[in-house]
Structure 1
Amino acid sequence: MAWPPTRYFSREQDEALIPLQDIIPFILHAQLSLLLNPLFWLLVLLVGYQYRRVTRLKQELFGVGGEPVWQYTLLATFHGLLGGLGGSFVMVLVGVSLSNIGISYLWGLALILMLLSPRFLCFSYAGGIVSLVSLIFGWPQVDVPHLMGLIAVLHMVEAVLIRISGHLGAVPVYTEHRGQVVGAFNMQKFWPIPIAALALVSLPPWLQAGGVVPMPDWWPLIRPAAMPDPEEALFVVLPVAAGLGYGDVAITTSPEQKSRVSARHLAFYSLILLGLAILASYVRPLAWLAALFAPLGHECTIWLGRRAEAKGQAFYVFTESGARILDVTKNSAAARLGLRSGDIILEVNGFPVTGRASLAEAVSAGGGRLEVRFYQRESGQERVALTYKGPDEPLGTILVPEPGDKPQVELSTRGWLYRWWRQHKG
């Protein structure tokens, strides 16, 4: 939804600092206009649907139901608002413009690439291809530095969101790692992002209704390919609704550690790409380097994560001295005992525990009383805890796979087109 502009940004020779007091209302107004837009809430519903699919997967695999989908959705929306606010400041301060960056081509190509692999539904790949085609053939007309700037800022926001909440709601799964069935966490996150961006317009002074916010002469950092007359070159704030997603798997580390590392890699990528976008706006041949780095640098961040998983030792594996916990359901007896993912249950009600069967027997023998001795992964010490549960209340633990268990999921990045081709070829 376009926001009817009441003010514009323009470059002024006598300004040295960015007037934050004038910019902040612009950004807040843009976000508010999106919050009042039904299209944004349609995006929120789509995010909620994705979280519903994630919680259904957990119920299908382990029979764990009652996950609060609405809580995940509201929390993701709240985090998206914060991320959009921060991203809006970066977009405006750097001067990323949506004018002449080929948004329609970007979306169309991203959807096509998604058929090859879901992870290609990312502007890094589509943006890099569109930019290279534009640089080689001169069509479509794309302002490559600004397109790279947009991609960089969106990934910067994504890195922050992954660091804050990328590990929340991770789904425990059994998968195969280096020939062994191990426990892992499938991490799927989605965020609706209301963000403010700029668009370059050229208006004579008599059409500049509402006045002009003066900006420093060095602004914008990312210069447009063709800057009009300074007296008529204006930037207007536009509210844009975007959706960000994150998918990963934690096998050799906890979801918290995995999201921390992924966020760090993505932050480095976004900062480098933003720097290349700024330089390319002054030295246009560097647009080739920025266009190449967008997809290749993103592939590098994925490769780094996969290499760590491939070379590392699986964390959630079977142990003969106790029952290792893969996950603990919320508001369960296990949660009240203080049990956490990675802890090892050693005894229940005085009975030694070595796996699912012995754990179930020990819990049943105690009636409603649960006195548990366990090894706490976080502290590295043994603990004893006591609680009581109802007769039909489950303990609330999901244990790591035992010898003979089969993998539940195959963690693959193959897209629909590849699977269709393999099916018809066979």
Structure 2
Amino acid sequence: MEIAIHTLRAVAYAIADPSNAFILMMIALIFYNKNKKIAAMQKMIMGESLDSAFELTISQIVIGIFAGAAASLIFTYAGLVFDENSNIYLLFMVSLFFMAFKPRFICFSYSGAVLGIVSLLFKYAANTLNMPQLDVINIDILTLMTLVGILHIVEGSLVMIDGSRGAIPVFTNRDNKIIGGFALKRYWALPVALLILLSATSSNLVVGQSVMIPEWRHLIKGNIIDRIVKNSVIASIALYGVIGYSGITFTKSKRAKTLTSGALIMVYGVLLTAVAQLAVLGTAYQFFILIFAAVVHEAMLRLEKHMEFTMKPKFSSSDEGIMVLAVAPKSPAFQMGIESGDLIVELNGKAIEVEEEIFNIIKGNFSSLSLKIKKPFGDLKNVNYSNMASNKRLGIVIVPREIPKDTAIVNMNDETFKEVIEKIKNKDKDEDKDMKQEEDQKQEQEQDKK
């Protein structure tokens, strides 16, 4: 219990210490700027806000803090201890760098593999040239890759719990047919406590509580145990790491997508943690583990992409009816019981032959409404709504049979969020321009009459 309390105290220090709190604030600011774009896209597509940028950011920070505490406890009881001269903090600095500039490689499997390979190369150069000062990174591969494996287990749980929040409805064309789906992107900031082995001469230089080594000797793994001396102590240092997840699905609901992705990430984490134990067999095995981490992670991503291209699309309209892709919370559609995946087969007692009818309804051009919907399992249900407010929209996104000219539907073919939001902005500008032209024409006509 004392070990757990010490670890949690270090995590609390990461949050409360002014310098660390400043780092957290900077991370939260980056999150907020990204979430403003997501919230704006949701409002443009849905007609109303689903999640505010503030809500999206707070959930990322709060959930990340709990995940960081859990990860820190796992690190401690897994016996992960780093040498005081190691540069393990580089792993977390690289993750922060990728978050800001290269989100595609934000994963610790890439930064861990690069850091480990560079460490081995420097170590080889130091031994070959008999120059110990060249071993500047000095990271034990067993400890490093076990850490990366555990971080992926934590990441998988975060994706399963919170990965579907802030999803953006998107569309693409497959086999000359429009299909709908969701673009997912989430980040979490994790304050983590890592154990560092200190010599008696340097322990007074570390901020935070240190614990004498006998209490944790039975937990420690890796070659660091060979360097333990009688007066050595272990201290916890607080670092911030960023875990990110992104994906696009056209074959699953957003919840099913994150459950599948999260489960795959957790399996990968368990597998990497197990394979990392081979590092005790020598340098060749250590190189294999580092390459294994990056290659298998990339293979996992390609497997998910292959599944998306080969599985049947979930959201597409047909001659039978119009597919509902997303429903805004607290909207009239939500109150009617309409859900994502429902098929609208009748509108006010008639089959939907002209899509313009449903688009007018979506804009709120009705006082009362009767719909017949078909649930994913085939059940038919009649739903009604009356006394519609004049400034209210129905609150759904549908998958059209063909792309209409006057709607904010966005086609997405492996495009970035920035490109998608630019498309939406351009559509809004075009609509505003058209409206202005119509008003000018009306004014000219009125002047001609006078």
TM-score normalised by length of structure 1: 0.81
The question of whether the paired residues in 2 share the 8 Å contact of 1:181 and 1:407 is answered with: no
Mapped pair 1:190 → 2:187: yes
Could you say which residue in structure 2 is the equivalent of 1:164?
161
Deviations, residues 47-82 of structure 1 (Å, cap 9, x unaligned) = 222211212233444544464222222222222122
By how many angstroms is 1:40 displaced?
Answer: 1.4
Mapped pair 1:91 → 2:75: yes
Letter in 2 for 1:41: M
Residue segments in structure 1 that go unaligned for 5+ positions in a row: 1-20, 417-426
For the residue of structure 2 that corresponds to 1:306, the secondary structure is helix
By how many angstroms is 1:216 displaced?
Answer: 5.1
For the residue of structure 2 that corresponds to 1:85, the secondary structure is helix
For the residue of structure 2 that corresponds to 1:345, the secondary structure is strand
Mapped pair 1:130 → 2:115: yes
Could you say which residue in structure 2 is the equivalent of 1:12?
none
By how many angstroms is 1:116 displaced?
Answer: 9.8
Deviations, residues 155-191 of structure 1 (Å, cap 9, x unaligned) = 1111000011111221001124456432110001111
Residue of 183, 198, 201 corresponding to 1:201? 198
Could you say which residue in structure 2 is the equivalent of 1:29?
9
Could you say which residue in structure 2 is the equivalent of 1:273?
272
Letter in 2 for 1:219: L
Letter in 2 for 1:121: I
Question: 1:209-248 alignment to 2 at 5 Å?
Answer: 212=212, 214-215=214-215, 217-220=217-220, 222-225=221-224, 227-248=226-247
Instruction: Compare CA radii of gyration and give the structure with the larger one.
Output: 2
By how many angstroms is 1:343 displaced?
Answer: 0.7
Question: Structure 2 CA distance, aligned partners of 1:369 and 1:351?
Answer: 15
54-63 vs 295-304, which moves further: 54-63
The question of whether the paired residues in 2 share the 8 Å contact of 1:124 and 1:298 is answered with: yes
Mapped pair 1:146 → 2:143: yes
Relative to 1, partners in 2 of residues 1:35 and 1:366: Cα closer, same or farther, differing over 3 Å? Answer: same
By how many angstroms is 1:409 displaced?
Answer: 2.6
Letter in 1 for 2:180: G
Q: Decide which structure has greater helix share.
A: 2
Question: Structure 1 CA distance, aligned partners of 2:69 and 2:172?
Answer: 38
The question of whether the paired residues in 2 share the 8 Å contact of 1:143 and 1:224 is answered with: yes
For the residue of structure 2 that corresponds to 1:241, the secondary structure is strand
Letter in 2 for 1:118: P
TM-score normalised by length of structure 2: 0.77
Could you say which residue in structure 2 is the equivalent of 1:410?
413
Question: Structure 1 CA distance, aligned partners of 2:365 and 2:417?
Answer: 48
Mapped pair 1:53 → 2:32: no
The question of whether the paired residues in 2 share the 8 Å contact of 1:174 and 1:184 is answered with: yes
Letter in 1 for 2:337: G
Question: Structure 1 CA distance, aligned partners of 2:361 and 2:266?
Answer: 48
For the residue of structure 1 that corresponds to 2:227, the secondary structure is coil
Mapped pair 1:353 → 2:338: no
Mapped pair 1:383 → 2:368: no
The question of whether the paired residues in 2 share the 8 Å contact of 1:184 and 1:249 is answered with: yes
Question: Structure 1 CA distance, aligned partners of 2:50 and 2:91?
Answer: 39
350-359 vs 105-114, which moves further: 105-114
The question of whether the paired residues in 2 share the 8 Å contact of 1:202 and 1:234 is answered with: yes
By how many angstroms is 1:333 displaced?
Answer: 0.6
Larger RCO (alpha carbons 8 Å, 6+ apart): 1
For the residue of structure 2 that corresponds to 1:227, the secondary structure is helix
Question: Structure 2 CA distance, aligned partners of 1:165 and 1:121?
Answer: 18
Mapped pair 1:75 → 2:78: no
Count residues in correspondence: 394
By how many angstroms is 1:396 displaced?
Answer: 0.6
Question: Structure 1 CA distance, aligned partners of 2:108 and 2:399?
Answer: 37
Question: 1:329-340 alignment to 2 at 5 Å?
Answer: 329-340=328-339
Residue segments in structure 2 that go unaligned for 5+ positions in a row: 125-134, 420-450
Letter in 1 for 2:390: P
The question of whether the paired residues in 2 share the 8 Å contact of 1:349 and 1:363 is answered with: no
Could you say which residue in structure 1 is the equivalent of 2:370?
371
Could you say which residue in structure 2 is the equivalent of 1:3?
none
Deviations, residues 208-259 of structure 1 (Å, cap 9, x unaligned) = 9876374354311x32446323423332112222221100011111111111
By how many angstroms is 1:301 displaced?
Answer: 1.1
Aligned-pair Cα RMSD in Å: 3.3
Question: Structure 2 CA distance, aligned partners of 1:369 and 1:111?
Answer: 51
Question: Structure 2 CA distance, aligned partners of 1:363 and 1:119?
Answer: 36
By how many angstroms is 1:368 displaced?
Answer: 2.6
Letter in 2 for 1:57: M
Question: Structure 1 CA distance, aligned partners of 2:165 and 2:101?
Answer: 28
By how many angstroms is 1:262 displaced?
Answer: 0.9
Letter in 2 for 1:297: V
Relative to 1, partners in 2 of residues 1:228 and 1:90: Cα closer, same or farther, differing over 3 Å? Answer: same
Question: Structure 2 CA distance, aligned partners of 1:413 and 1:26?
Answer: 42
Deviations, residues 85-104 of structure 1 (Å, cap 9, x unaligned) = 21111111112235455446
